[in-house]
Amino acid sequence: MSNTNKKYWKGLPQLKNDPEYVKHADKEFVDLGVQEDNGHSRRDFLKMMGFSVAAASLAACEAPIRKAIPYINKPLDADPGIPNYYASTYLNGGDYCSIVVKVRDGRPIKVEGNNLSKVTLGGTSAQVEASVLSLYDNYRLRGPRIAEKASDWETVDKEIIAKLNEIAGKGGQIRIVSNTVLSPSTKAAIDKFKAKYSTTRHIQYDAVSNYGILKANQESFGTAMIPSYDFSQAKVIVSIGADFLGTWLSPIEFSKQFATNRQLTEEHREMSRLYSFESNLSLTGANADYRSMIKPSQEGLVVAQLYNILSGNGESSIDGIAHLEKAAAELKSNQGKALVVCGSNDKSVQIVVNAINNLLGSYGTTILPGTPVNFRQGNDEEMAALVADAQGGKVDGIIFYNCNPVYDHPKGADLEKSLKSVALTISTSSTPDETASAVAYMTPDHHYLESWNDAEPKANSFSLSQPAITPLFKTRQAQESFLVWAGEANTDYFEFVREYWRNRFYSPASGMDFQTFWDKCLYDGVLDLANAPASYTFSGNVEAALASIASTAKASNSGLELVIYESCGLGNGSQANNPLLQELPDPITKATWDHYITISLKDATELGIENDAEGRTQLVNLTANGKTISVAALVQPGQAPGTVGVAVGYGRTKVGRVGENIGANAYPLVSVGETLNYSITSGVTVEKTNESFQIAQTQIHQTYMGRHSVIQESVLSEYQKDPLAGREFPKITDWDKKVDPGALSLWKGHEYKNHYWGMAIDLNTCTGCGACVVACNVENNVALVGKQEVINRREMHWLRIDRYYSSDADVEDYKGMEQASENPEVVFQPMLCQHCNNAPCETVCPVAATTHSTEGLNQMTYNRCIGTRYCANNCPYKVRRFNWFKYHDNQQFYTSNPAMNTDLGRMVLNPDVTVRSRGVMEKCSFCVQRIQVGKLNAKKERRTLQDGEVVTACQAACTTGAIVFGDMNNPESRISKLLKIESDPERPYSIDKKIGNPRAYRVLEEIGVKPNIFYLTKIRNKDKAKENA
């Protein structure tokens, strides 16, 4: 960045030039003094060698007998070796995603977004991508249990029905407790149960609650609902603590909408502007154009101040918040194209937010209250009342329907204790989790990929779930259990859903018979009905709300404050046993497998907490709400001084071998009031202990050795003037003049006559969420190595997302640098094999195991590789991964890598991709298996390959469409159009394409390796480049 003079850094050790960091920075394989097994001598080696030769010859004499067992009665549409795709729905509490499941030989092996959905719009998230592995979780219950002992459904049903009747007979109270239920059919099934046992009440709660919004809207509009938001209509977005790109309400949908206004072209040089006011550095804050750090105690006041400015009431509730006035002014000038969202769960704050949006004319444009969403229906008051009732012995029966309040409710411990005295306790959880272990009857539900179901994520948007595999275990759909217990004659839930749809959605007037209608709905996975727009008028009491805020909020609070958040990868902890999510580096901290508090450098220094380059830190005792947990401390740039952040979702005690006992449970720290409060503003202490702890962070692995043209960025105003803004054009020296790096080459260059595969990654729309990383892992059977091996810098991810912090300060301006590191700008850059045309790895391989294809791919041939690792050492992008161990069929990696170490887990492996063995190198293949399938399909149909037929796993997973892959020889392909590739009639198949898009650049262009991956410059919507973030 010679032209912007920005300094980029991956973490504090790099910024501070920590000696240990510097020592390892230029090494591909760092010697961390890892103790290997050195107990073998040369003699042992020879013995082993002799033995293996003998074994090999013996093995050669007698071939192992392998069986091939065909179907007895082959279903018509199932052909071994050919995948089928089924539309279905991912449901996890209130989290929703319409998906397409890839089923190979009867086993779901991959989940992708459903493009037909108008809610999730074909997007996915890391959690959705990872959920396919949860299906094959060894911890799942194999069948029903009574008091921890295996039983059968007949006995269980008999006992439960007897007890229910007994309770009903004496007029006892029955409760069904669940997370948000999105499925209308499930609610109908529960209604059947309620009809039979009239004292039953259904209580919904959410681990991370948005009850405050429901309450606020009840008061503002008369209906307790959460409206739809449309970020694509907003020119100015202000987020006050709402991580709408990461975790808030419907992040997949919001990311998609947000990205539509972040795509820049020469023709369309406009983009939205995002202001973020928050304490933790969230994904949304990292993507914000202007980010201001506030304390949680100030949150309400910021909202109030925004209202004061916009309404012009002349009052002032808080001063000195950076960018607040500017944000208010811009909101005002963008009436009808503005949107304010707030993550607070406080009713009063949300009422003021509603008032602001009302002033801005957002209702009907960026907020659609006529189309309410159902993602969060949890009622904090009812849930708190339930715990109190259970403690008071007022409840006789509780059914926990796929929820885990003992773990994920602040009063979970109280609930657990009180359950012993409840006459009938049932859990339908599919694993013996914390709640299920505390109840008498475990009646496990199917995994969602084994279930029939439906969902109504939004008013008038419906979707269907269909089983993609026969149930693996003797589990039973929970809805069916409800119907059985209700004594229904017909308990088949499939029939139930079908009848529900027939009665509710099918109209014979459509001219379709019902079977056709049903088949179409199943095929599409979604059904959208016409929306009758309802009009809402804001009638909230702003004065009262402002007064309430004024009474609780503090403009300046000297004490430490705590923000409890949901992490992007692990979420609320329900998938904590999924190693894909545990090993996914957090988008911001880049920590894997670990739980920590995020703390600002200033506070850490005061407390004497130090993080070193290898993630070594100290454990701290975090006390809030009268509870203390012990977790590690991670110094996080961008954390508001005076605050600490801690994630929920960790500290599971009964979740399975992968996720057990990682960190501590932060739910008990949440304070319980009218609504659950995730911001603790008083009574928070952090006490340093002398116990050291190492966090497995990937952020400083694989650095660039001081090369700087990796990130190229600018601001919108510059881009509008010159689309080449931010671009850097390195030159190399010929004997007489400076020339472009591509102009001089030792190599003749390739000619790709058929296809020329390339990829473009838009740094502007990449939010850094990590869905692509998980998708890549699942598609390509990438091994998960576990915490210790990540610490040893041996993670295997083919695709990583580099997160850079940047500061505008000059390298000499130490003070400026320190300031920037407090609240840095963030850039995310997905980094994968660049498929260089002049690939440095290819020339150094002594056995030609990595070679170039005639389609532009850099191919890696595992069976040829002898593991010299020369290629990795010679890779300028640090994207090659070495198999230090045999990660499959190795009990040592059972915990981290069940997909390759248990019979159950192995079912998820992609049969088209080799499972690599110890001692070979691997890397991104551009999903060559998908390229080959696409080509074969075209050839079978005797036609040319069309654009869009070959989609890489990362591209398919990318919700915002930041990754575009395709054939650069095809002038009609999306990538050709995006990069504006100009055809050269002289050399139409040459690698030296003329790229017309001024934003497109190749990373490290100066070294002349000519990658086939292009990045589009990051353009921030800032007024000036040098402006404090």
Binding-site ranges for other proteins (CB under 8 A):
56-57, 59-60, 63, 65-74, 76, 79-82, 753-754, 849, 851, 853-855, 857, 859-864, 912-915, 925, 928-929, 932, 935-936, 938-940, 942-945, 989
Closest-CA residue to 760 (of 1008, 1016, 956) = 1016
Q: Residue 296 or residue 758: which is nearer to other proteins going by CB?
A: 758
Q: What distances in angstroms separate CA 308 from CA 84, 236, 237, 334, 366, one per listed residue?
A: 57, 18, 18, 17, 21
Sheet holding 825-831, edge to edge: 7-9, 800-807, 825-831
Query: Would you tell me how many other CB atoms lie within 10 Å of the CB of residue 116?
Result: 17
Minimal distance, residue 449 CB to other proteins, in Å: 23
SS3 286: helix
Distance CA 789, CA 768 (A): 23
Let me know: does 639 contact 279? Beta carbons within 8 Å.
Answer: yes
Whether the Cβ atoms of residue 287 and residue 766 lie closer than 8 Å to each other: no
Q: Of 62 and 812, which CB lies nearer to other proteins in the complex structure?
A: 62
For other proteins, which is the closer residue by CB, 5 or 843? 843
Rounded to the nearest whole angstrom, what is the least distance from the CB of residue 76 to other proteins in the complex? 7
Nearer to other proteins, 195 or 866 (CB): 866
CB of 937 to other proteins, least distance (A): 9
List of residues 6+ apart from 324 with CB closer than 8 A: 277, 292, 302, 305, 306, 309, 318
CA dist., res. 586 & res. 703, Å (int):
18
Angle at the Cα of 909 (from 908 to 914), degrees rounded to 5?
180
**Number of Cβ atoms within 10 Å of the Cβ of 864:** 14
Shortest gap between Cβ of 69 and other proteins (angstroms)?
Answer: 5
Task: Using the minimum distance from each CB to other proteins, give the nearer residue, 96 or 887.
Answer: 887
CB of 695 to other proteins, least distance (A): 35
SS (HEC) of 553-597: CCCCCCCEEEEEEEECCCECCCCCCCHHHHHCCCCCCCEECCCEE
* DSSP 8-state assignment for residue 444: P
CB 613 within 8 Å of CB 24: yes
Q: Least CB distance from residue 927 to other proteins, whole Å?
A: 9
For residues 24 and 930, which CB has a smaller minimum distance to other proteins in the complex? 930
Report the distance separating Cα 804 and Cα 819, nearest Å: 16
Nearer to other proteins, 707 or 918 (CB): 918
Report which secondary-structure segment, H or E, holds 800: strand 800-807
**Whether 273 contacts 1012, CB under 8 Å:** no
User: Closest Cα partner for 659 from 887, 898, 903, 888?
Assistant: 898
β pairing state of 560-566 and 679-694: antiparallel
Q: Which is nearer to other proteins, 76 or 532 (CB)?
A: 76
Minimum CB distance to other proteins smaller for 533 or for 948: 948
CB of residue 900 vs other proteins: minimum separation in angstroms? 13
* CA pair distance 136, 158, nearest whole angstrom: 30
Residue number, 931 or 1007, with CB nearest to other proteins: 931
- Rounded to a whole number of angstroms, the minimum distance from the CB of residue 896 to other proteins is 22
Q: Give the distance from CA 57 to its chain's centroid.
A: 49
What phi and psi values does residue 292 have, to the nearest 5 degrees? -120, 140
Specify the residue, 458 or 930, whose C-beta has the smaller distance to other proteins.
Answer: 930
Kindly tell me which of 357 and 970 has the beta carbon lying closer to other proteins. Answer: 970
Smallest distance from other proteins to CB 967, Å? 11
CB 125 within 8 A of CB 959: yes
Smallest distance, Å, CB 835 to other proteins?
11
What does DSSP say about strands 1000-1001 and 738-739: parallel, antiparallel, or unpaired? unpaired
Nearer to other proteins, 73 or 490 (CB): 73
CB of 392 to other proteins, least distance (A): 55
Q: Give the number of other Cβ atoms within 10 Å of residue 394's Cβ.
A: 14
- Minimal distance, residue 885 CB to other proteins, in Å: 18
Q: What is the DSSP letter of 751?
A: B
End-to-end CA distance of the chain: 18
Residues 6+ apart with CB under 8 A from 795: 583, 592, 698, 701, 785, 789, 881
Find the shortest distance in angstroms from Cβ 109 to other proteins. 14
Closer to other proteins by CB, 90 or 757: give it: 757
Strand 84-92 relative to strand 95-104, pairing: antiparallel
Q: How far apart are CA 566 and CA 563, in angstroms?
A: 10
Residue closer to other proteins (CB basis): 551 or 863: 863
Minimum distance from CB of 49 to other proteins (Å)?
A: 15
Assess contact for 379 and 98: CB atoms under 8 A: no
Rounded to a whole number of angstroms, the minimum distance from the CB of residue 756 to other proteins is 12
Whether 465 contacts 128, CB under 8 Å: no
Nearer to other proteins, 718 or 855 (CB): 855
Query: How near is the Cβ of 1013 to other proteins at its closest, in Å?
Result: 17
For 173, the token pair is: 């109270």
**CA–CA separation, 211 and 226 (whole Å):** 9
**DSSP-derived 3-state class of residue 304:** helix
Nearest to 631 by CA among 645, 641, 643, 642: 645
